[in-house]
Amino acid sequence: MTQPPTWPAPTTVEPVHAVVPVPGSKSITNRALLLAALADGPSLVRAPLRSRDTRLMADALSALGAGIAERDDNADGTSDGDWLVTPAKPAGPAEIDCGLAGTVMRFVPPAAALADGEIRFDGDPRARERPMTTVLNALRGLGAEITGDRLPFTVHGAGELAGGPVTIDASASSQFVSGLLLSGARYRRGVTVHHRDDTAGQPVPSQPHIEMTVAMLREAGVEVDDSAANVWRVAPGVIRARDWSVEPDLSNATPFLAAAAVTGGTVTVPGWPAATTQAGDAIRGILASMGATVVLDDRGLTVIGGPLTGVDVDLHDVGELTPVLAALAALASTPSHLTGIAHLRGHETDRLAALATEIKRLGGDVVEEAGALTIHPRPLHAGVWHSYADHRMATAGAVLGLAVDGVEIDDLSATTKTM
């Protein structure tokens, strides 16, 4: 197989000044698509993200029987890019390609358990290494028949699922909880998910993503009780059809805001919501603590770069920000300590090991711990930055390249996962 050419990251000695509209949130798009596919009538998903992960979700739900098409709603017959989703009872046989999308491999199997017939799941080579036993064993406990414990696996659908209570260890990913909740209203007894980590007492990471799931379920008329810690109850019932409006992806905005921080420039992302369930909103406070000026107003979110200082921050709830923040830390004037990120070892790649390896490759000083990175700034030099087929690794390398001449990204195509 021919390797793609490396991509020379642009370097600048001048401040970057830009207004950067950012496409829609992947997290919201894929949740909206799944809820729409299980709803009681057609739904509209407005301004969805178009990326590999969202197309994989759309293709997976289409394979189960849902209709997903662009709505031609303009006078000249053109489309604004909105998706019209027409639900259908899930049915097999079907083949689902998960690619490297955690939302597809963890959100779709609970829906496939409602299908008549066999639904086979597979994905990219790295996806076959990602943990799946938690959600698959949970589905078995709720009455599903499944062959296999990781990709590839097959869900043998019986047309319905009993549902009820289930206890899982979700300390590796919040997606295990969200996946069960999103389809739970369609189970005969609903679903009650208990999180329990008997080994280290670890909480569920990325809690804002579960809060997003709960909020979207309630918007679709589903009764959810999350009043007790580490317990989520979804009552059986109808998922209502509705119009979903997708916010800009705030995590995907981070590399562009970082460009202002790195170069002492000014970058505005229009349409930044005043209130949101997206975890990426936390970047505002983190960049401010690193020396940037951050302004949220009717123009959007504006970051004005200043001298970069290090940061000591717990990223347990916002782990997706870690790669770009590690890049900023490597360029700062003082050390940084990024904690609460052990769960990133099970993402598209082992992000802690990857970040430590690649920053060191460019001359940096990184101490890798089980769930943390300590980064001592050092002068960096040219070199190839490996993306590990991970979109957030690729963007982290591009941020470093703004300040370090001669950085080349080995596989820029990884960014198509979410862009």
Spell out the residues 6+ positions from residue 167 whose beta carbon is closer than 8 angstroms to its own.
Answer: 194, 195, 196
**Given the structure tokens 């940037």, which residue do they identify?**
292
Tell how far CA 297 is from the center of its chain: 26
d(CA 184, CA 237): 9
Residue of 70, 145, 320, 368 marked catalytic: 320
Q: Is the dihedral of CA 27, 28, 29, 34 positive or negative?
A: positive
d(CA 195, CA 44): 33
d(CA 33, CA 178): 14
Tell me if residue 353 falls in helix, strand or coil. helix
CB 22 within 8 A of CB 248: yes
**DSSP secondary structure of 282-314:** GHHHHHHHTT-EEEEETTEEEEE-------EEE
Encoded amino acid at 385, one letter: W
Beta bridge partners of 167: 194
Residue 368 designated active-site: no
Comparing CA positions, the residue from 219, 224, 235 lying closest to residue 186 is: 235
d(CA 287, CA 269): 14
| Strand 116-122 relative to strand 94-97, pairing | parallel
d(CA 155, CA 354): 33
Residues carrying an active site annotation: 320
